[in-house]
Amino acid sequence: MPTDAPETDYAFDTGAADAVPQLRALESFLDPITTDRIAPPLLTPGARCWEVGAGGGSVARAMAAAVGPSGRVVATDLDLAHLRPAGNLEVRRHDVRHELPPGDPFDLVHARLVLLHLPERRRVLRTLAGALAPGGWLVVEEFDCTAPLRVLTAPSDDAAKLFAQVTDAMLGILQGHGADLAWAQDVHAQLTAAGLVDVDTVVHARSWPGGSLGASLYGTNSRQLEPELLDAGLSPGQLDAFRRLLRDPAFAVMSYQLVSTRGRRA
């Protein structure tokens, strides 16, 4: 096993201090949605599960609790700094782009906010589908980054314009790193093309008021991408004003749209 994570063009530094608040904000918003999508009959005692790009490990830990001691969960990522093995939860450094699936066929494979960042996303999706046992489920969850981040309330028109300016720049940076901002819209068809059945998709979004953990995600992302935002022409003053806006109770914005798609191997 390699001692260092392979190089990627992922825009966010998973080893930086801001990775922790980013993970916590994402987990707060997304874990309840994911829990519902992988609930029985998908996730059952004794099941074998693979959590791809496990991040902070919250979903992998929930899986491990659900499958019980007779089940097994493998959590993989390039960066294991936020993951800990325990009991029936195994942690492996793994590059899903280039390495074979980590073990025998799985009853459930879950990947959240992973494939949109990978240029090899379509090939990787076929790999994940191929790792399923008969009757096993693949659940892929991605942000639809083409959906407008609609400001609901703002202290001024200029504040709303500033939010749009900074978030548009952040999405442009992600795209420059190889992310496909529209990938979420393609997943349903890709699961069907991979031969899965019972494919279904749900979309979830909610309002995030200023000062909320959700709104803080935008601020955290702006700190993670600050050097590139400055290179894109934004000023330190604009970024400071953007972060203050996200703490303002007079501000509210819609979250990113999470598109959750799942399919079953016949």
What is the Cα–Cα distance from 255 to 253, expressed in whole angstroms? 6
Report if residue 10 sits inside a domain.
no
- pLDDT for the residue 14: 61
What is the Cα–Cα distance from 41 to 53, expressed in whole angstroms? 23
- pLDDT for the residue 104: 87
Report if residue 136 sits inside a domain.
yes
What is the band of 1 on the pLDDT scale with cuts at 50, 70, 90?
Answer: very low
Structural domains of the chain, count? 1
Beta 89-93 vs 106-112: how paired, if at all? Answer: unpaired
Report if residue 50 sits inside a domain.
yes
Instruction: Find the mean pLDDT for residues 90-97.
Output: 97
Range of the domain at 79: 19-264
What is the band of 108 on the pLDDT scale with cuts at 50, 70, 90?
Answer: very high
Instruction: Find the mean pLDDT for residues 93-112.
Output: 96
- pLDDT for the residue 18: 76
Torsion sign, CA atoms 208, 214, 215, 217: negative
Instruction: Return mean pLDDT, the chain.
Output: 93
Instruction: Find the mean pLDDT for residues 21-42.
Output: 95
Report if residue 4 sits inside a domain.
no
Report if residue 9 sits inside a domain.
no
- pLDDT for the residue 5: 38
Vertex 90, ends 89 and 92: CA angle to 5°?
145
Please state, for a pLDDT cut of 90, what percent of the chain lies above it.
88
Report if residue 251 sits inside a domain.
yes
Please state, for a pLDDT cut of 70, what percent of the chain lies above it.
94
What is the Cα–Cα distance from 110 to 108, expressed in whole angstroms? 7
What is the band of 20 on the pLDDT scale with cuts at 50, 70, 90?
Answer: confident
Instruction: Find the mean pLDDT for residues 117-142.
Output: 97
pLDDT for residue 127 is more than 70: yes
Report if residue 14 sits inside a domain.
no
pLDDT for residue 6 is more than 60: no
Give residue for tokens 């007079």: 250
Two structure tokens written together for 217: 């995600």
pLDDT for residue 15 is more than 80: no
- pLDDT for the residue 214: 94
Residues 6+ apart with CB under 8 A from 76: 50, 51, 52, 53, 54, 91, 92, 93, 94, 96, 102
pLDDT for residue 11 is more than 90: no
Give residue for tokens 């019972």: 198
What is the band of 17 on the pLDDT scale with cuts at 50, 70, 90?
Answer: confident
Dihedral angle of Cα 173, 174, 180, 183, to the nearest 10 degrees: -130
- pLDDT for the residue 2: 36
Please write the tens of the pLDDT for every residue from 175-214. 999 999 999 999 999 999 999 999 999 999 999 999 999 9
What is the band of 13 on the pLDDT scale with cuts at 50, 70, 90?
Answer: low
Please write the tens of the pLDDT for every residue from 222-236. 999 999 999 999 999
* Alpha-carbon distances of 159 from 93, 138, 149, 179, rounded to whole Å: 42, 41, 14, 27
CATH number of the domain where residue 126 is located:
3.40.50.150
Q: Which of 42, 34, 79, 40 is nearest to 61 (CA)?
A: 34
- pLDDT for the residue 7: 45
What is the Cα–Cα distance from 118 to 260, expressed in whole angstroms? 18
Report if residue 7 sits inside a domain.
no
